[in-house]
Chains A and B, each alone.
Chain A
């Protein structure tokens, strides 16, 4: 159907429905996605999760909501210059579905580490004092004091922050990520796509109420200032003389021919704004101020930032030549002064693995690889798979853009420099996760290079879509895979409250593992001793293991699941352990609810017990 206008050329009349879809399609799909997701939440029972976590319990409606959110994103990004409203609606719906499912389906906050952080925050809120000799993490008390101060003004306990912290932090990360993408990618479509990819790939579960979650926000903003406001394209003299040398020229010539890459690609980053001296000074001040706060918030994040800033300076991508040195000095100063309780007890841990990137990463990866069941193995493999997909896709994105004559070296440096943190600290089994966390934002931007062309690049869009769908498929397994033991039932939480009301301060409390919600208050009030595999001992051995002085045994559903899923104990280990406890005359149950039990150990004559 068409109409003829004054020029005589027939003008096609777009049907009203198509026009309406073009304007409202993405927002309508986003609202439908969130509504469907909300309807699916009440059917999810996280306390029935098995070794593979929540994925087998997700109803069909949840997957429909995810499909609607993906459709919203595809609709929003079909144009090279998507509407900001469309993109925001689609991204918010995706964020709610991926990162809001756990807070929405679990009435009580999850994850034992979050309760420990709440406990530190509670101590600061009530007293304004830290106790680093009780827990050395309190030497980096920035989050605890800040949140403690604010919680007093809010008239809440720090537990209030726990439940929706992950979704809040994920939404907050999108702003510096968008700012980075705006400076690195040419088209609006690619810039928004980077945000969607970040949401789909952040299964890492470090966005709970924690110092590292807050630190990541500061880290991303500082990186944005470094590569955007203080961007530089002048490589240092040493680097220039190296790249002009004959061996390098031969190697790069050979490499470019082999990979069919152009010899002199243009930088993909937006052209550098020439700042006035006042603007440059304020940008430097921003980095120094935020970096100073970062040093008191978290141990590892400032180290990663220092490495990144040094790498950016070495490769001439930022005008911040000495910020890395300043931060390094601050880290050392804080560790020496306020971190004394930490390094006194953990000297080998802090410096033991220095220079040993390979073994630190291997121990980090290897420890996580041990899986006791098929479901657990599936969860671990999904995490490896997702990490592999992200890195390979990022390499593909770099190659794709380079073939088209553009490079994004600042993002490559931001993605790769944090790997060195594996050799700079001995952070234990978490280091591989932390490296991926710091690298995730620039990796998402590099992958979005696949769609960073004005004319819709078919191959690039197909590759990006495949990566996005693959990451979304792995996300529920990777992210929700620990729910059988990381979720706390309401009765687990109420048992912890009962313990704090009735068990005398200073008591010894025996637990199977620290996967329990006790530490949310009264930090240092109890000495918690882990029994571990000793729960499999016979009752005669238990009689020797358990102390002769008054103490308590505290068991919860979360600990039982942890033993089964993570430590490979038999499924009925807790029932059998309780039967053996019942055979001991000096052990009596004093509290029980459907998911938790507290036993009192009566004093006996003689010595004996279990040390932590």
Chain B
């Protein structure tokens, strides 16, 4: 199963990626690093927010696979709802997604740190 240190590392990556992506979008930065940061941040941050909440026994590879799958599925599902609902606000939707994912990931990180502290 996924080691606590690996889980914490993934928590940290998700926190950092999500925060950087959110900063790029909110500040509307125009840099060459914005595209890969926003993409990686959105995929990994939203994916990990869902994966870390799942009570499934997983190893590291399975956890990252689930994070990648949810990282593409969640934005895709949101975009489908926006298209079908006729309310196309892509930047607002991505901002809300990143805020929700980053907040959730902070809670996951705090929870996992508490669990490690108890051990």
Contacts and interface: CB of A to CB of B under 8 A. Distances in A.
Contacts, number: 132
A150 B88 contact: no
B65 A155 contact: no
A590 interface: no
A266 interface: no
B82 A128 contact: yes
Contact of B62 (A143, A145, A182, A276): A182
Interface in B37-62: 38-39, 42, 54-59, 61-62
Interface residues of B, number: 40
B53 to A, nearest CB: 9
Interface string B56-82: 111101101110111011011111101
Pick the most buried of B39, B54, B86, B90: most chain A CB atoms within 10 A of its CB. B90
Given A149-B78, A217-B68, 18 more contacts: A124-B79, A129-B83, A129-B88, A141-B80, A145-B82, A148-B79, A175-B65, A176-B61, A176-B69, A178-B61, A179-B59, A182-B61, A217-B72, A224-B65, A275-B56, A279-B55, A290-B70, A292-B77
B83 A145 contact: yes
Contact of A150 (B39, B57, B70, B77): B39
Interface of B: 25, 28, 30, 34-35, 38-39, 42, 54-59, 61-62, 64-66, 68-70, 72-73, 75-80, 82-83, 86-88, 90-91, 93-95
A141 B83 contact: yes
Contact of A214 (B72, B80, B83): B72
Contacts of A129: 83, 88
Interface stretch (A37-45, A281-289, A312-320, A465-473): A281-289
Contacts of B34: 154-155
* Size class of the contact patch on chain A: 35 or more
Interface string A157-196: 0001000000000001001101100100000000000000
Contacts of B87: 128
A327 to B, nearest CB: 15
Contacts of B38: 150, 153-154
Given A160-B35, A224-B62, A124 B76 contact: no
A178 B68 CA distance: 14
A252 B64 CA distance: 41
B66 A150 contact: no
A297 interface: yes
A130 interface: yes
A148 B90 contact: yes
A607 interface: no
Contacts of B39: 150, 154
Kindly list the 10 A-B residue pairs having the minimum CB-CB distance in the complex, ordered from nearest.
Answer: A128-B88, A146-B76, A145-B79, A178-B61, A153-B94, A179-B62, A175-B65, A152-B90, A221-B69, A176-B65
Interface in A208-244: 214, 217-218, 220-222, 224, 228-229
A323 B28 CA distance: 42
A95 to B, nearest CB: 15
Secondary structure class of chain A's binding surface, majority of residues: helix
A143 B75 CA distance: 10
Contacts of A130: 83
A175 B64 contact: yes
A229 B54 CA distance: 12
Contact of A229 (B56, B78, B94): B56
Contacts of B25: 153
A224 B42 CA distance: 23
Contacts of B59: 179, 182
A176 B35 CA distance: 25
B90 A153 contact: yes
A425 to B, nearest CB: 23
A230 to B, nearest CB: 10
Contacts of A156: 35
Nearest to A128: B88
A217 B43 CA distance: 13
Contacts of A273: 57
B115 to A, nearest CB: 17
